[in-house]
Amino acid sequence: PVATFEVPSKYVPDKPLECKQLYGTSSLEHPGVQMVAMERGKYYLGGHVVGLNKPVREFPCETPTEVRERLPEGVDIVAFQCRNPVHRAHYELFTRALDAPNVGDDGVVLVHPTCGPTQPGDIPGNVRYKTYEVLKEETANPRVYWAYLPYSMHMAGPREAIQHMMIRKNFGCTHFIIGRDMAGCKSSIDGEDFYGAYEAQDFAIENGPALGVQAVPSLNLVYTAEEGYITAEDAKDKGYDSLKLSGTKFRAMLRGGEDIPEWFAFKSVVEVLRQAA
């Protein structure tokens, strides 16, 4: 057993109101609303949980105390959250975040992926964990720390971005990288976005001071033949063409055994994904 649950309260929730306040919509076109409406039961239970043992998982999940104990003291800790394998652009993004003007010179990154249940089409958590472990070994960057979070994304946009900041503060982080359209999703009917591209960033910057966590907006990086990874703005100003490889094309190349360009993905990560395909 992992815990005991004392249940003094049982009630019927107002699910449409819950979804409206959490996701900003009660439409079943939103995957989070679908989960609340179709997967959760009629009744909610409230009470006291007492932990007994840590759950046994396919990947190690340290407690906040355990993670804080191995992070350096007295320096900025910049958290990077993801739910997919880390490719070259991600790595460039979170290592360059250490150069942000609001991050100290001796700051470090905590890469803290969510490895819980996934959205349809996502790579399973245990496979993603293996990609992170081989990448940690391949890069061996002393300014990059790794830990894993047993959490499932709810695709709740700006509110979920705030939740992630709160979680990472518990793990000892002082800064949090906010990507474009973080925790965003599209309608299952017409494909329209539920949240604005920079809504999560703006919400995080606005509320960060109250949380005691500084937001670090992510750079919009592209790969160019001339200078490697640079910002999209620099590429446009210099007249460079950016190389692109869509996720759909990448997965097709994996299945077909084609060579994956090294500017896009790390060899060690590709090998794990091929073995799991």
Residue range 52-70, pLDDT digits in tens = 998 888 888 999 999 999 9
* Structure tokens, 208: 């960060």
Residue 150 amino acid letter: P
Q: Given pLDDT bands bounded at 50, 70 and 90, which one contains residue 229?
A: very high
What does pTM read for this prediction? 0.91
For residue 119, the model assigns a pLDDT of: 66
Question: Do 196 and 183 meet the contact criterion of CB atoms below 8 Å apart?
Answer: no
Long-range contacts of 40-47 (CB under 8 A, 24+ apart): 40/15, 42/12, 43/10, 43/11, 43/12, 43/13, 44/10, 44/11, 44/12, 44/13, 45/5, 45/7, 45/9, 45/10, 46/7, 46/8, 46/9, 46/10, 46/11, 47/5, 47/6, 47/7, 47/8, 47/9
Over the stretch 164-181, which tens digit does the pLDDT of each residue have? Answer: 999 999 999 999 999 888
Over the stretch 96-114, which tens digit does the pLDDT of each residue have? Answer: 999 999 999 999 999 999 9
Q: Of 118-122, 148-152, 266-270, 271-275, which gets the smallest average pLDDT?
A: 118-122
Question: Do 9 and 142 meet the contact criterion of CB atoms below 8 Å apart?
Answer: no
Name the phi and psi angles at 91, rounded to 5.
-65, -45
* Structure tokens, 142: 């002393």
Residue with tokens 């200078």: 227
- The rounded distance, in Å, linking the Cα atoms of 232 and 114 is 27
Contacts of 241 (CB under 8 A, 6+ apart): 224, 225, 235
Name the phi and psi angles at 7, rounded to 5.
-115, 90
Residue with tokens 């091929």: 274
Question: Do 27 and 33 meet the contact criterion of CB atoms below 8 Å apart?
Answer: yes
Give the three-class secondary structure for 204. helix
- The rounded distance, in Å, linking the Cα atoms of 26 and 22 is 9
Contacts of 260 (CB under 8 A, 6+ apart): 250, 253, 254, 270
